Amino acid sequence: MARPLRIEFENALCHVTSRGDRRESIFEEGEDRVAFLNPLGEVVERFNWVCLAYCLMDSHYHLIIQTPDGNLAKGIWLLGQFDQQKTSPIPLSKMCS
């Protein structure tokens, strides 16, 4: 069954989480966590988000995001490309205009 559509609106406060398949690790080492902060920062800046808090666990992460422009889905999609960026020669900043 598909997830219900996300309701987006200006100045929403959103709890965002993403988990590895079968609860597998998405961050192998501390460097992976640091590397994740770069694309997170790009997405926050590009979509005019306010990242109020984050927690990076081995198998998942949590973000508390405020969306002044009501554009959570676009940014989440781009952030989800982070894993693909590890093997892709295309920089994250060029994936979505």
What CATH number labels 12-85?
A: 3.30.70.1290
- Intervals of the chain under pLDDT 50: 87-97
Q: Residue 10: what pLDDT?
A: 94
Q: Residue 92: what pLDDT?
A: 47
Q: Residue 26: what pLDDT?
A: 85
Q: Residue 29: what pLDDT?
A: 86
Tell me the domain boundaries of the chain: 12-85
The structure tokens 């979509």 sit at 47
Give how far Cα 65 sits from Cα of 6, 11, 91, Å.
14, 9, 23
